[in-house]
Amino acid sequence: MLQDRFHHQKSGVLYPIKTPKVPGAVPTAHEQSQAIGGNLTRIVHGFPDYAVANFSPCLTVHNKTPWLVWRTQPEPFIFRWDNNYFYNNNRPTEVFLGIMKRDNEVSNAHSIRPSKHQLSYEDPRLFIGSDEELYCQFVSSRYASQTKKQDRFFNDPKVWVSHIQDGYATRATLPPQGENRVKGKSEKNWCYFTHNGETKLLYSTIPLIICEPQGQRQIQSRILRTVSGQHPTFNSTAPIDLNGEHLIFYHWKHMSFMPDGRHYLQYHCSAYMLDKEMTKITHIVKQPLWSGSLADELIWWTYSNGQKVSTQPACILPFGGVAQGDELLMPLGVNDAWIGMFRCKLDCLMAFMEPV
């Protein structure tokens, strides 16, 4: 665009370089997205008006309909004298489903399991099964529940999969992979997808394990340690098909410190490519594409007198996106507070990839 170009009588065409608003600080989600070559548009219309926060978004196109699923938090946390915290009114998070109308608006938003429940529903991801039907996977647990101390199966996170019928999760199945059916064990950050006519599961990042109908197999992924260090890694998105090869985003986390010395949880997100048959990593991005920023809206939880107790994590995370022509369209959850739609030319993103 002409307005993006600046001419100088001696130097020809110059392209402006945007600098962070606070020198030395992690740039905002908008600034980091622009540095990749894309644009982040905050979704401001269509979310439930009572929600404290909306985050963990995933976008999937099924039957030409762009479905968006996300986690919504109806009530804030309340903190007890011993710093244990619970959802206010014992009302945990829900999974909402809607249709993207444009980059800043979602329509027909509703809970996929609207009946009253005590489990926290988290980390939803949509996928199209081998039967070409739309499914939603999500995690449930008694996170921040007042009944968590009781010895129950769902004290720990478990993954559910449900067929989406008329916009609702009619029946939920507890898949058998990993330790999902073992009491006292946690499972989350799974990514189901369909490849070569079979529904498969991206189980973990390091080690990179894919579960198939014939069994599971492991792909060499230690090269990702050059990016994430020794921090624990997690799947962000299922493989996104790019004309045969597959783009995958993943994330890692660690504790960081604010300028005043208080600590907070910070996430980073990067990406890699798998070959057509998913046998090896072919390219990686050797740096975080996004890092959680204190410059973005950060939710602080306080006591009734306003004293700050804890924050939501600083994160800029995708849970699923789609390639449309020469563009990547992928929603990002920012600081477990709000959602923006990231739109970027694939060539801009691929410029960060380096062959392995």
pLDDT at 309: 85
Cα gap 252→237, rounded to integer Å: 13
* pLDDT tens, residue by residue, 309-325: 888 999 999 999 999 99
Cα gap 293→268, rounded to integer Å: 10
Confidence of residue 202 (pLDDT cuts 50, 70, 90): very high
pLDDT at 2: 36
Alpha-carbon Rg of the chain, whole angstroms?
21
pLDDT at 142: 87
Q: How many CA atoms lie within 13 A of 118 on its CB side?
A: 8
Q: Are 173 and 109 in contact (CB under 8 A)?
A: no
Smallest CA-to-CA distance from 177 within 156, 160, 194, 195 is with 160
DSSP state of 225: H
Confidence of residue 219 (pLDDT cuts 50, 70, 90): very high
pLDDT at 20: 55
pLDDT surpassing 50 at residue 4:
no
pLDDT surpassing 60 at residue 12:
no
pLDDT surpassing 70 at residue 1:
no
Cα gap 211→215, rounded to integer Å: 6
For the chain, percent of residues with pLDDT exceeding 90: 76
The residue assigned the tokens 């504790």 is: 255
Least confident range of 4-18, 143-157, 162-176? 4-18
Confidence of residue 170 (pLDDT cuts 50, 70, 90): confident
Both structure tokens of 204: 């973990």
Confidence of residue 304 (pLDDT cuts 50, 70, 90): low
DSSP 228-245: HTTS-EEE-SPPEEETTE
pLDDT at 147: 60
Q: Are 270 and 285 in contact (CB under 8 A)?
A: yes
Cα gap 332→318, rounded to integer Å: 5
Count Cβ atoms below 10 Å from residue 184 Cβ, excluding itself. Answer: 9
Mean pLDDT of 5-10: 39
pLDDT at 16: 45
DSSP 283-350: EEESS-SEE--TTS--PEEE-TT--EEEE--B-EEES--EEETTEEEEEEEETTTEEEEEEEEHHHHH
* pLDDT tens, residue by residue, 53-107: 999 999 999 999 999 999 999 998 888 777 788 888 889 999 999 999 999 999 9
Sequence-ordered alpha helix ranges (H) in the chain: 29-36, 225-228, 346-350
Domain locations in the chain as residue ranges? 2-355
What is the architecture of the domain spanning 2-355? Answer: 5 Propeller (2.115)
Q: How many CA atoms lie within 13 A of 60 on its CB side?
A: 28
Query: Measured over all CA atoms, what is the biggest interatomic distance in the chain, rounded to whole angstroms?
Result: 74
One-letter amino acid for residue 43 of the chain: I
Q: Are 190 and 199 in contact (CB under 8 A)?
A: no
